[in-house]
Amino acid sequence: MSAHGLQPVRLVAADGSRAVIYPFGAHVTSWRTANGREQLYLSGEAALDGSAAIRGGIPVIFPQFASEGPLPKHGFARTAMWRVLDAGNGLPAVSERWDAASRVTHDPGSPHAPSAGFELVDSPATRALWPHAFRALVRVTLLPRALDLALVVENTGSASMAFTAALHTYLALDDAFRAEVWGLQGHPYRDSITRVPAVQDEPVLRVTGAVNRVYAGAPGQISVRDGGRTLGVEAAGFRDAVVWNPGMEGEGALGDMPSGDSRRMLCVEPAVVEQPIVVLPGERWTAWHCLTAEIRAESVT
């Protein structure tokens, strides 16, 4: 892997917000809002040299979620080198590469918003794991108080293909074990810890330790309250949502998360898990994910 391929793309908006995306995995590793606050968790032990999947940020999960299938855990997209299509502060070439289908669920607004596009196409290495021809696109756009991601998967082969996917968002929190997740009431979920299916009866999910739930038919808007701030997790095109934290007892098994860091993060992610997406030859699937942050004045050290 070349050193050039490991150089991140950096986006800076007029209001001072910024984002960092590595072509390795088309992986967002940082999103700082205009007040300077980091909104995404990134492990201090994360590998940023391409030797392993990056712990934290927003990993792109495709074409398999977790270990639910024959592929390596979470598929190959997060450990593949994506091609940078274009990047910069509103370069026309960025928006021109995305047709109307990629903006069906959300219009990022100003054509001058800083954005970057990334492309992954099938190769002998991917076809050895997953025998399909495809083209995947990720677009990252900085908006006022928001980070917008679009994921597009196109079937360029002659046979239909089925896959699962997620944008595995690690939110940076003051104290995850006092956080509240709103918006999931009434939705069924399967709990990978208790192995017991259930329904979210309470209006709020209070995270007190390890949690690993897949909510089927999740709503397009979920909010996370962390102390005095609120983070919004919006999505369209994804059918499910995942809430995950390894808990203090699970940190050691990860191998790349410092002790105590489970209190500093919570994954709340849009996903397609329960029913795989099926894309016919020549067609495409598009999904959208937008993070919003309630801005408050605070000093940043």
Return the pLDDT at 110: 55
Q: Is 168 a catalytic site residue?
A: yes
Helical (H) or strand (E) element with 292: strand 284-293
What Rg do the C-alpha atoms of the chain give, in angstroms?
18
Strands 114-121 and 188-191 come out as unpaired
One DSSP character per residue, 60-125 reads EEBS--TTSSSSSTTBSGGGSBPEEEEEEES-HHHHHTS-GGGGSS-----TTSEEEEEEEE--HH
3-state helix, strand, coil in the chain (%, to 5): 10, 45, 45
Distance CA 151, CA 28 (A): 13
List of residues 6+ apart from 220 with CB closer than 8 A: 234, 235, 236
Q: What is the per-residue pLDDT for 162?
A: 99
Cα 83 to Cα 99: distance, rounded to the nearest angstrom: 18
Query: Residue 254 belongs to what H/E stretch?
Result: helix 247-254
Q: Is the bond preceding 270 in cis, omega lying within 30 degrees of 0?
A: no
Per-residue pLDDT of the chain (301 residues; tens, 9 = 90+): 444 457 899 999 988 999 999 999 999 999 999 999 999 999 999 999 999 999 999 999 999 999 999 999 999 999 999 999 875 544 333 333 334 333 323 344 455 788 999 999 999 999 999 999 999 999 999 988 899 999 999 999 999 999 999 999 999 999 999 999 999 999 999 998 888 899 999 999 999 999 999 999 999 999 999 988 999 999 999 999 999 999 999 998 999 999 999 999 999 999 999 999 999 999 999 999 999 998 665 544 3
Of the residues 154, 251, 269, 274, only one is catalytic, namely 269
Q: Which two tokens stand for residue 251?
A: 């940190």
pLDDT (0 to 100) of residue 6: 76
**Residue 188's Cα: distance from chain center in Å?**
22
Q: What pLDDT, on the 0 to 100 scale, is given for residue 296?
A: 61
**Separation of alpha carbons 200 and 301, rounded Å:** 38
DSSP H or E segment with residue 249: helix 247-254
**Token pair of 226, please?**
């962390």
Domains and CATH numbers, the chain: 4-171+247-264+275-293 (2.70.98.10)
Q: 74, 106, 168, 289: which is the annotated catalytic residue?
A: 168
